[in-house]
Chain A
Amino acid sequence: MKFFTRKRSAASAKERLQLVLVHDRTDLTPGQLESLKDDLLKAISQYIEIDPEAVRIELERDGREQRLVADIPLKSSSRHRAG
Chain B
Amino acid sequence: MTAQVFTITSGKGGVGKTTAVANLATALAMDGKRVVCIDGDIGLRNLDVVMGLENRIVYDIVDVIEGRCKLKQAMIRDKHYPEMYLLPAAQTRDKNAVSPSDMVRICKDLRADADFVIIDSPAGIERGFRNAIAAADSVIVVTNPEVSAVRDADRVVGILEAEEKGNPSLIINRLNPTLVKNNDMLSAEDVLDLLGIRLIGIVPEDETVIIGSNRGAPVVTDGKSRAGTAFRNIAKRLQGEDVPFLDLAPQSGLWNAIQRLAGRK
A residues neighboring B (CB under 8 Å):
8-11, 13-14, 16-18, 20-21, 24-25, 61, 63-64
Contact = CB atoms under 8 A, between A and B. Distances in A.
Given A18-B194, A64-B157, A10 B186 contact: yes
A14 B151 contact: no
A17 B196 contact: no
Q: Which 6 A-B pairs have the closest CB atoms?
A: A8-B183, A63-B196, A64-B196, A10-B183, A9-B184, A14-B190
A25 B154 contact: yes
Nearest to B179: A10
Given A9-B184, A10-B190, A16-B147, 18 more contacts: A8-B183, A8-B184, A11-B183, A13-B147, A13-B186, A14-B186, A14-B194, A17-B147, A17-B150, A20-B147, A21-B151, A24-B154, A24-B155, A24-B158, A25-B154, A25-B158, A61-B196, A64-B161
Nearest to A10: B183
B197 interface: yes
B134 interface: no
B182 interface: yes
B194 A17 contact: yes
B180 interface: yes
**Do most interface residues of chain A lie in helix, strand or loop, or is the interface mixed?**
helix
B49 interface: no
Contacts of A25: 154, 158
Contacts of A61: 196
A63 B182 CA distance: 26
Interface in B136-152: 146-147, 150-151
A37 to B, nearest CB: 24
A61 B195 CA distance: 10
A10 B151 contact: no
A21 B154 contact: yes
B60 to A, nearest CB: 35
B185 interface: yes
Nearest to B182: A8
B93 to A, nearest CB: 32
Contacts of A63: 196
B4 interface: no
Nearest to A14: B190
A16 B190 CA distance: 12
B214 to A, nearest CB: 31
Nearest to A64: B196
Contacts of B157: 64
Contacts of A64: 157, 161, 196-197
A67 B197 CA distance: 17
